[in-house]
Amino acid sequence: MAGWAKDDEALFVYDRYDLWQIDPRGRDKPIRLTHGREKEMRYRYVRMDPEEKFLPTLGPWWFETFDEATKHGGYARLDTWQPLSPMRSIIQDSFAFDGLRVAEKAPVYFFTKENFKTFPDIWMTTDWTHYQRISNANPQQSMYRWGDISLYHWYSDDGELLEGMLVKPEGFDPTKKYPMIVNFYEKSSDGLMQYRTVDPNRSQIVYPYYASNGYVIFNPNIPYKIGYPGESAFNAVMSGVTALLNSGFIDPDRVGVQGHSWGGYQIAQLITRTKLFRCAEAGAPVVNMFSAYGGIRWGSGMSREFQYEHTQSRIGGTIWEYPLRYFENSPLFFLDKIETPVLIMHNDNDSAVPWYQGIEFFTGLRRLNKPAWMLNYNGEPHWPTKWQNRVDFQHRMAQFFDHYLQDGPLPLWMQQGVPAIEKGINQGFEISAGGDQH
């Protein structure tokens, strides 16, 4: 919903691409006011006045635009608000744009623009031909090797053209072999132009940090089939990784995988079916869809049943209708197939995924004598929120991946663990005197 006209004369709503004018009384047919569907261009109305109560009947109307094919952003304008009025594209470029505002008493426009390597500074223009950057909030970035990002396309095993993002280190050499980390969560490629900073992310790898340390990062989109979420992830991820291995610049013995929550579940499921990954980090993963189905989302108090039947988990029905689907999509029952070392992060105040799911995963792996570690940040929710815990998580995850994918040393916490009474005192980040590499 974009908003209402004055006196509720019309309601303005979006579809995937366009803005529509709807008669709330039902007398007039809906009118499509933008024409983005034909060129897969998304239009979203911009409130130039943050105090605006309703959409004006007179122009100009401003829109943020998004090209679904290239992921380029921009702005467009309608000068008069009449059906079939021509839409003027003001700017379209390889950036994401945001925050468009106009000065109160002059046609001076301000906005931010960003992409993977460009910090979202404030820009100014008076004519949309000449632009001036008026902030420089991140000059220290020039001292770092940030990496580069691009779209990557490949075909799945059943012939479907798929899309994802590929991050390469700066100075990338296609004749070299690089370690790679696969990181994903549903579909992420629309965020291609997003600026990514190096602050300690609460749940995901930090793309510029890993790129600057010589890693390639692959983030594939996952198209899901109802009833088969694990199978869907396997087909998309494995076909994409195989395509990249065939390109020749990825070391097939140094591929890791990382994800959180729904991503953590898919990773747990993946490694029951393949030995390709040298190591894996799975955050807050569901591994037993039977016990999770009967649980509660403690934050909202809702039963978890809805999300397994009809939303993100996509099983398509109850455990009584489709018991085999719940079984086949529960990694717990296939832990004996795992040969991949696993780092698990699950916190004891998680209100989204009950942390007994992480416990079931960890204790099952240890019972089977599989290499596994579990991080628990006491009192934290679905991910670490305290700065020191986010730093700690990123530090341990980097040591974990560096050990398996770049022959880095084995820190003490991976060798010996950290006793509960020593948490926050003896971190175990240091390397043993013997320099154990195994």
pLDDT at position 437: 43
Q: Are residues 275 and 133 in the same domain?
A: no
Around 198, how many Cα atoms within 13 Å sit in the side-chain half-sphere? Answer: 16
The residue among 140, 170, 196 that closes a domain is 140
Q: Is 404 exposed, middle or buried (0-12, 13-18, 19+ CB in 10 A)?
A: buried
Residue 217 to residue 228: CA distance in whole angstroms: 26
Specify the pLDDT at position 74: 97
Domain end, chosen from 123, 140, 157, is at 140
Number of domains forming the structure of the chain = 2
In a domain, 241, yes or no: yes
Rounded mean pLDDT for each run of 10 residues along the chain, 438 residues in total: 92 96 94 93 93 83 96 91 74 96 94 97 96 96 94 95 97 97 97 95 97 97 96 97 98 98 97 98 97 90 91 94 97 98 97 95 98 97 97 98 97 94 91 56
Side-chain-facing half-sphere of 162: CA atoms under 13 Å:
30
Res 438: pLDDT: 39
Are residues 168 and 87 part of one domain? no
Based on the fold, state whether residues 127 and 178 are members of the same structural domain.
no
pLDDT for 82: 64
Does residue 259 share a domain with residue 391? yes
Q: Which pLDDT belongs to residue 328?
A: 97
Same domain assignment for residues 184 and 107: no
Per-residue pLDDT at 341: 98
269 with 332, same domain?
Answer: yes
Q: Is 426 contained in some domain?
A: no
Q: Which helix (H) or strand (E) holds 283?
A: strand 279-283
The CATH number linked to 22 is 2.130.10.10
**pLDDT value for 434:** 52
- What is residue 338's predicted lDDT score, i.e. its pLDDT? 98
Q: Are residues 14 and 84 in the same domain?
A: yes
Say whether 128 sits in a helix, a strand or coil: coil
87 domain-assigned: yes
Do residues 120 and 135 make contact, with C-beta atoms less than 8 angstroms apart? Answer: no
Does 329 map to a domain? yes
Q: Cis omega before residue 60 (within 30°)?
A: yes
Domain boundary among 140, 166, 185: 140
Q: Are residues 82 and 173 in the same domain?
A: no
Instruction: Tell me which residue has tokens 């929550």.
Output: 261
Distance CA(347)–CA(202), nearest Å, equals: 12
Which residues span the domain enclosing 341? 144-407
Neighbouring CB atoms inside 10 A of 225's CB total: 11
Q: What is the pLDDT of residue 192?
A: 98
Residue 216 lies in a domain: yes
Give Cα separations from 425 to 373, 419, 428, 429 (angstroms): 19, 10, 9, 11
**Is 9 contained in some domain?**
yes
User: Which CATH number is 244's domain given?
Assistant: 3.40.50.1820
Q: How far apart are CA 375 and CA 384, in angstroms?
A: 11
Q: Are 391 and 402 in contact (CB under 8 A)?
A: no
Q: At what angle do helices 229-247 and 262-270 cross, to 10 degrees?
A: 70
Q: Do residues 96 and 204 both lie within one domain?
A: no
The DSSP secondary structure of 415-430, one letter per residue, reads: HH---GGGTTT----S
Q: Are residues 63 and 19 in the same domain?
A: yes
CB distance 200 to 206 below 8 Å: yes
Paired residues of 217 in beta bridges = 167, 181
Same domain, 348 and 297: yes
What is the C-alpha separation between 347 and 32, in angstroms, rounded?
47
Residues 87 and 174 in one domain: no
